[in-house]
Amino acid sequence: MDDVSLKSDCAACSALCCVALAFDKSKLFAIDKAAGVACAHLGSGHGCTIHARLQSAGFQGCINYDCNGAGQRVTQVLFQGQSWQQNPALLAPMLAAFAGMRQVHERLLLLATAQNLPLSEAQKRRVYDLQAAMAAPEDWSAKDLAGFGQSETARAVQAFLKSLAPLLNRS
């Protein structure tokens, strides 16, 4: 799984979270924004026009958010560095891929965290196998990502993580 980063690299992304995610005006966000609509503060070149003052501008939610590397993986691997800003026709497929890849990366992060538990050798192998099933970037297509939440791999990860519950209850 060395080729998949679970840390966000906004410079390698095309601001997918700034378009994909919805937020409501609250303590975390100063404005309402619908899903699929670019944030009013998104500038050309995928930069945030208020990034240096997000907190004072009322955008703590942006500071707190982390896609766990899904955004750059969609932009750099699946779409080979292309941007929806240069090619607006890519917006819908990139947003759909981002939604699926976020699910993949959330599960990868949970599996990485599970490695901190006192796992048996068989459980360690299972973690590795599940990570490998989700890590290979050449194996993903937009169709695979769209159905990932209902896939056999997603169900296998969920079942495996659930099986680790007794390890969490140990004192």
pLDDT at 64: 96
Average pLDDT taken over every residue of the chain: 91
Residue 3 has pLDDT above 70, yes or no: no
- Half-sphere exposure of residue 26: CA atoms within 13 angstroms, side-chain side: 8
How does residue 44 score in pLDDT terms, banded at 50, 70 and 90? confident
Residue 61 has pLDDT above 60, yes or no: yes
| 82 vs 143: which has the higher pLDDT | 82
- Only one residue has tokens 């989700």, namely 134
pLDDT digits (tens, 9 = 90+) for 68-114: 999 999 999 899 999 999 999 999 999 999 999 999 999 999 999 99
Nearest CA to 23 among 55, 64, 62, 71? 62
How does residue 46 score in pLDDT terms, banded at 50, 70 and 90? confident
**SS3 of 74, please?**
helix
What are 119's two structure tokens? 């796992």
pLDDT at 140: 81
How does residue 170 score in pLDDT terms, banded at 50, 70 and 90? low
Rounded CA-CA distance 142/40 in Å is: 27
pLDDT at 138: 64
Percent residues over pLDDT 90 in the chain: 80
| 137 vs 9: which has the higher pLDDT | 9
Whether the CB-CB separation of 20 and 70 falls below 8 Å is answered with no
pLDDT at 12: 93
Nearest CA to 149 among 105, 115, 92, 93? 105
Q: What is the residue type of 118?
A: P
